[in-house]
Amino acid sequence: MSDANDPWLIVGLGNPGPEYAANRHNVGFMVADLLAERIGGKFKRAPKAQAQVLEGRIGPPGPLSRRVVVAKPMSYMNLSGGPVSALRDFYKVPLDHVVAVHDELDIDYGTLRLKLGGGDNGHNGLKSMTKSMGPEYHRIRFGIGRPPGRMQVADFVLKDFSSTERKELGFLVDRAADSVECLLAEGLERAQSAYNS
């Protein structure tokens, strides 16, 4: 069983490379970048894993401060499990201290849902993580909504947010980063009641 001194591994899911940077599928990277900014450090290449990481602390000084590793796997989305599993081993992170931040099709744009465990709902990043480690990690699901008309899901998630969506995106990414901090400091139930909409 994990205890308060165990580190947390916050994984923003996305695809590496500038051509994917603003895609809906990369909202996990956006949240990870904002958390890194708040911690006040720069990502560096991870030891023994295909990922970029930043080590630091999240939360107010004192007993609510948590040791964290913020990570962006540098494999493609559908291979995220390998790097995440390697990071978990290297930093000795219990599975219930892993948090995946990812886009979610079945939730309206901008809606957040936090949960522990569960299925992958067709999300290739989660599918890969669950295959590597089992399902009992936290998820912060960032709603992107369903594709319009007959657009294929793969095309939709690999498109940039629309200009209308981008007006709110900064605020929503900020809120998702807040929900990570709340989860670590106050636990899942408090974070769910504050952020699940």
Q: Which two tokens stand for residue 5?
A: 């001194």
Q: Which of 25, 97, 102, 138 is catalytic?
A: 25
Q: What does DSSP assign to residue 167?
A: H
- What is the rounded CA–CA span in Å between residue 170 and residue 191? 20
What's the N-to-C CA distance of the chain in angstroms?
30
Question: How many residues are given for the chain?
Answer: 197
State yes or no: is 102 an active-site residue.
Answer: no
For residue 131, the SS3 value is helix
How distant is the alpha carbon of residue 113 from its chain centre? 12
Pairing between strand 8-12 and 66-73? parallel
- What is the rounded CA–CA span in Å between residue 39 and residue 36? 5
Determine contact, residues 49/86, Cβ cutoff 8 Å.
Answer: yes
- What is the rounded CA–CA span in Å between residue 86 and residue 78? 16
Beta strands in 65-187 (DSSP E): 66-73, 98-104, 112-116, 138-143
Residues involved in catalysis: 25
